[in-house]
Structure 1
Amino acid sequence: MSFFVLERTIAAPLERVFALSLDVGVHVDSMAAHDERIADGVRAGRMAEGDTVTWDARHFGIRFRMTSLVFDVDEPHGFSDRQIRGPFAEFRHRHTFSSLPADTARGIHGTLMRDEIEFRSPFGPLGRIVDALVMRRHLIRLIEQRNDTLAAQAEQS
């Protein structure tokens, strides 16, 4: 199983960052370059415990569908999602959020957002090679794009 962690500091309150992280519209906005859209499940607003959404997107010139389940919601500190149907043999994403000390001089409340991703492509040894050579870097770029969009929206509110 491949694994990586990304952390991002966002100049916005914890509750706002948490809520935007569960908003399917923010996710769709962040994946516009991949023509991502919602094919089934939650179509607007904020996901909650037990919700599913099927994403339809183009990666590497190929259309993919992935259905994700949201679970272990602990508002506003974290939640997880995992693929229940789609291109990966396994895919799990743990989102955690913690408050940072406020910058009282500038009136900013900060949040540390942490993404822990575990994934495994199908096809055994061939999948492990793909994960090491291509998929890990691709997924890091996707999560960074998502986090850029999320931070921009959280910081402008």
Structure 2
Amino acid sequence: MPRLELRTEIDSNKEIVFDLSRSIDLHKISTKHTNETAVDGKTSGLIGPNEWVTWRAKHFGIYQKLTSRITEYNRSDFFADEMEKGAFKKFRHEHHFSELNGGTLMTDIFEYDSPFGILGIIADKLFIKKYMTDLLEKRNRTIKEFAESEKWKTVLEKEKYVC
């Protein structure tokens, strides 16, 4: 089972980074290049415990649907989503958040199994692992860009963060 682990340092409040990471709307922005759209379940706003979303996106020239559910949730520190239906045999994406030097360290752990047995293993080595890493890195750059500027206010409810 391939495992990707990405660490992103973000100069922003952990609460903001946590919420941007679970924002359906920000996810759409970060995956614009794949025409990703939320088509069922939670289709906008912040996804939370036991909620699910079905995404429709174009990957490798083919439109696909993938449904994932938030299976674990610990406000501001951690959440995990797991595939219920989709192209992978299975996947689990853990999102970890910790304070670091006045900002946030966001750690993604993404584990997946490709379908098709040995052909899936070969595809992982040839292109899927790199493709998934690039997709997650793009997402994380978008989260960082929004969190480190005032852009986060366009995605999250401003009133929620007023002290």
Could you tell me the TM-score, scaled by structure 1's length? 0.94
Counterpart-to-counterpart distance in 1, 2:126 and 2:90: 18
Q: Secondary structure at the match of 2:123?
A: helix
1:101 Cα deviation after fit: 2.2
Per the TM alignment, residue 43 of structure 1 is displaced from its structure 2 partner at its CA by: 1.2
DSSP-derived class of the 1:48 partner: coil
The code of the aligned residue for 1:66 comes to L
1:148 paired with 2:141, answer: yes
Contact 1:120 1:131 in 2 (8 A): no
SS at match of 1:50: coil
What SS is found at the alignment partner of 1:156? coil
Structure 1 segment 8-157 matched on structure 2, within 5 A: 8-102=8-102, 110-157=103-150
Q: Secondary structure at the match of 2:46?
A: coil
Residue 79 of structure 1: how far off its partner (Å): 0.3
Q: What is the Cα deviation at residue 57 of structure 1?
A: 0.4
Q: Which structure has the highest strand share of the two?
A: 1
| Gaps in structure 1 of 5+ consecutive residues | 103-109
Instruction: Please give the root-mean-square deviation of Cα atoms over the aligned residues, in Å.
Output: 0.7
The equivalent residue for 1:106 is none
Deviations 1:104-134 (A, max 9, x none): xxxxxx1000000101111111111111111
SS at match of 2:148: helix
Return the TM-score normalized by structure 2.
0.90
SS in structure 1 of the partner of residue 101 of structure 2: strand
Query: How far 1:70 moved relative to its partner?
Result: 0.6
Number of residue pairs matched? 150
Q: Is the 8 A contact 2:38 2:44 kept in 1?
A: no
Q: Unaligned regions of 5+ residues in structure 2, if any?
A: 151-163
Q: CA separation in 2, counterparts of 1:37 and 1:46?
A: 15
Provide the rounded CA distance (Å) in 1 between the counterparts of 2:33 and 2:15.
27
SS of 1:114 mapped into structure 2? strand
Report the secondary structure of 1:43's partner residue. coil
Counterpart of 2:60, as a letter, is F
CA distance in structure 2 between the partners assigned to 1:24 and 1:78 by the alignment:
17
